[in-house]
Amino acid sequence: ALAPRCGWVLPGLQQRLAVPAVVSPAAARPYAAAAKPAKKDAKRTRQEKVKEKPPPRRRLLMTKPVDDVYLTWLYRRPSYELEQAVGMLKKFQELDFTHPKQFVYINVFLDMALQKKKKVDPFSSSVTLPHRFTDEVNKVLVFTENEQEVEVAQEHGAAIVGGVELIKWILEDEIQADFYVAVPAIIPKLIPLRNKLKQKYPSTRRKSLGSDIPKMVQFFRECHEYTVEDESIIKTRIARLDMPTEHIIANLKTIIHDICTFKPSNFDPIVRRLVIRSSTSEGLLLNLDGILPQVEKVEEKEEENATGENQQKPDQESVST
């Protein structure tokens, strides 16, 4: 009922007007409380749909292109035999009219993994190549305090020869060399240089510690050094492009065989991928068959020979009896 026009108000209506009504947000918007669970349910259904949706099938790479112009990412990268790849590099040089005496490089991608999350530590090594491709001679420093050994080292081409007095100059970078060689008698006095020289510190492992000074000096003056970069890659030059193909192949195999000695043969081969290129050409992926040393097959043959000998021994004993 409506209140009369005389201005008085009903008691119940007066109470309602005196006390302001408190309206909850849920009561004011009855749809808000139900909206949140709906959004959550929608998100859940979307996530479930994504999980149920099978992953897109990756298109298999084709092996060999038919046309001369093609998208490289649709095809597998071709691999070449070593002799074929060297021949292609020589042909690239003729077609491009580039310098015929440019260097040949290899990029070696390594598998450094061992058992129980262990890895082969990055290393550097020196090797004598069967065919030299440069006239550059390394600067060799010889540590010795023997006067006769000093004369021998100088006669065989050592750039610097001396004893303990060289330590101060090396620490202050006044004297630098490509390789450091020492005789066993002086090695205890060279300990202050261990942190300075690091991998170039004389050691039997690197063939830079010994008594045969002429042999060590000759080796390090003409040797070829390579180093592991970025923990698993070796980038080094191996020859000149104008050299005979047989010489390039021999130099490459010498370096690869030396790299393989840094990982035990009972593990997977340390060389994972091998790319060869010249200074001006693209890189060619090589087929590793025939390049890596066949250690496992040799071990199997030795085991077969050993078992054959063991079988022959009882027969011989039975005959003798």
Give me the mean pLDDT over the 157-163 stretch: 96
Question: Domain-by-domain residue ranges, the chain?
Answer: 79-122+231-293, 140-222
pLDDT digits (tens, 9 = 90+) for 211-238: 999 999 999 999 999 999 999 999 999 9
- Which CATH number does 140-222 carry? 3.40.50.790
Query: What is residue 59's predicted lDDT score, i.e. its pLDDT?
Result: 60
Question: What is the average per-residue pLDDT within 61-86?
Answer: 82
Whether residue 5 has pLDDT greater than 60: no
Q: Tell which phi-psi region holds residue 265, choosing left (phi > 0), alpha (psi between -120 and 50) or beta.
A: alpha
pLDDT at 36: 53
Q: Which CATH number fits domain 79-122+231-293: 3.30.190.20, 1.10.150.20, 3.40.109.10, 3.90.550.10?
A: 3.30.190.20
Q: Rounded to whole angstroms, how far apart are CA atoms 256 and 130?
A: 13
- pLDDT for 317 equals 43
Task: Name the DSSP letter for residue 77.
Answer: P
The count of residues in the chain is 321
- pLDDT reported for residue 29: 55
Taking a C-beta distance cutoff of 8 angstroms, is the pair 145, 166 a contact?
no
Query: How far is 275 from 112, CA to CA, in rounded Å?
Result: 18
User: Which percentage of the chain shows pLDDT scores above 90?
Assistant: 64
Asked whether residue 207 carries a pLDDT value surpassing 80, the answer given is yes
> Residue 41 has what pLDDT?
61
Give residue-wise pLDDT tens across range 123-147. 999 999 999 999 999 999 999 999 9
Arithmetic mean of pLDDT over the chain: 83
Q: How much of the chain is in helix, strand and coil states, percent to nearest 5?
A: 40, 15, 40
CB 256 within 8 A of CB 271: yes
pLDDT over 90 at 201, yes or no: yes
Q: What integer pLDDT is reported at residue 316 of this predicted model?
A: 45
Contacts (Cβ under 8 Å, ≥6 apart) of 102: 93, 240, 241, 278, 279, 280
Under the phi-then-psi rule, with left for phi > 0, alpha for psi from -120 to 50, and beta for the rest, what region is 290?
left
> Do residues 118 and 310 lie in contact, with contact meaning Cβ atoms separated by under 8 Å?
no
Give the chain's end-to-end CA distance (angstroms, integer): 135
3-state secondary structure of 292: coil
**pTM exceeding 0.75:** no
Closest of 116, 124, 102, 144 to residue 241, by C-alpha: 102
> Which of 93-102, 114-123, 210-219, 312-321 is predicted with the least confidence, judged by mean pLDDT?
312-321
If residue 217 lies in a helix (H) or strand (E), which one and from where to where? helix 213-222
